[in-house]
């Protein structure tokens, strides 16, 4: 018998879903029937995604907010629960880079990246934890990176934030498991988005050499992994890191 993944009547919050990987995840979850709350730095950044989701026939709404602000995230998650009637899935996807060698890296560059990538995920997780524990169901997916596993020259701040995110994922999984809430991480390799577009051709060529499948990933490759973690197929999977990188890290 053929079977399908059904997320009808589930509400998913996707941070940084205005473009790139977050947008692809929002569309993928909507394709399975989920209603989607899009969080972005500015409301105008949410418009394109919300329009696409609405055209797919699900309920979708954009919210302006900065994931690094705990009070803002707590108020937003309550608002989303009230607007949608439930809050079942959280995708901690918002992230930034400020690359430079460690000896040149300023305190501000370190703080900015850790604040968004790591504290942002903590803030959103804390803001949804009570809601999910109470309803005895939840799916949390954190967007890490392979550099959080293997490190990367020029990314002391970013790799530390992603390594920290993997540890946060495992702790969240342990603390919330008894209430039916799972937490998993995805570690993408090189995915074609605006974040990686800015890298030099030289760096891109070097990266491509490391990819066993000899092509860069698409945002949809990551969205497929997110859909798996949010589906019933993964109900016995928690605290895991799924590397989606075409075979860079083995
Ligand atoms: N592209 C890759 O190759 C790659 C590889 C590994 C991991 N990742 C991770 O995947 C995630 C998405 O990356 P992407 O390539 O789609 O990047 P992107 O820059 O295209 O999208 C990131 C989105 O996050 C939003 N955002 C940034 N700071 C925010 C904040 N404080 N609050 C709310 N929203 C905020 C941005 O406005 C943007 O729309 C990031 O966490 C990134 O670190 C990407």
The model's pLDDT over 193-245, given as tens digits with 9 standing for 90+, comes to: 999 999 999 999 999 999 999 999 999 999 999 999 999 999 999 999 999 99
Q: Three-state DSSP class for 17?
A: coil
Is the whole model's pTM more than 0.95, yes or no?
yes
Q: What is the structure's pLDDT at 235?
A: 97
* CA pair distance 215, 93, nearest whole angstrom: 23
Distance of CA 224 to the CA centre of its chain: 12
Q: What mean pLDDT value characterizes the chain?
A: 97
Q: What is the structure's pLDDT at 242?
A: 98
pLDDT above 90 as % of the chain: 98
Fold of domain 11-244: Rossmann fold (3.40.50)
* Dist. CA 15 → ligand 1 center (Å): 9
Nearest to residue 220, comparing CAs of 58, 25, 4?
A: 25
pLDDT tier for residue 249 given thresholds of 50, 70 and 90: very high
* CA pair distance 155, 149, nearest whole angstrom: 12
Query: What value does the mean pLDDT take over residues 36-41?
Result: 98
List pLDDT tens digits, range 144-187: 999 999 999 999 999 999 999 999 999 999 999 999 999 999 99
Q: What residue owns the CA closest to ligand 1's atom 7?
A: 145
* Dist. CA 97 → ligand 1 center (Å): 8
Q: What is the structure's pLDDT at 215?
A: 97
Best of 24, 94, 151 to mutate for ligand 1, by most ligand atoms within 8 A of CB? 94
pLDDT tier for residue 4 given thresholds of 50, 70 and 90: confident
């Amino acid at each position: 018998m053929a079977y399908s993944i059904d997320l009808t009547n589930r509400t998913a919050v996707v941070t940084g879903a205005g473009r790139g990987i977050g947008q692809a995840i929002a569309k993928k979850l909507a394709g399975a029937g989920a209603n989607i709350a899009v969080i972005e730095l500015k409301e105008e950044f949410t418009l394109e995604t919300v329009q696409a989701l609405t055209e797919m026939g699900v309920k979708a709404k954009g919210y302006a907010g900065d994931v690094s602000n705990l009070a803002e995230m707590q108020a937003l998650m309550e608002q989303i629960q009230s607007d949608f009637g439930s809050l079942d899935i959280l995708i901690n996807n918002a992230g930034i880079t400020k690359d430079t060698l460690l000896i040149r890296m300023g305190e501000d560059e370190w703080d900015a990246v850790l604040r968004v990538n790591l504290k942002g995920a903590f803030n959103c997780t804390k803001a949804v934890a009570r809601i999910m524990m109470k309803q005895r169901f939840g799916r949390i997916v954190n967007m890490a990176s392979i550099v959080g596993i293997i490190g990367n020259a020029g990314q002391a701040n970013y790799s530390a934030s992603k390594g920290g995110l993997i540890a946060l994922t495992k702790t969240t999984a342990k603390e919330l498991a008894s209430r039916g809430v799972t937490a998993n991480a995805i570690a993408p390799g090189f995915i074609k988005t605006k974040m990686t577009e800015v890298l030099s051709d030289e760096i891109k060529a070097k990266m491509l050499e490391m990819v066993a499948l000899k092509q860069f990933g698409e945002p949809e490759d990551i969205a497929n992994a997110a859909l798996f973690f949010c589906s019933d197929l993964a109900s016995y999977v928690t605290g895991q890191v799924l590397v989606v990188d075409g075979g860079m890290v083995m």
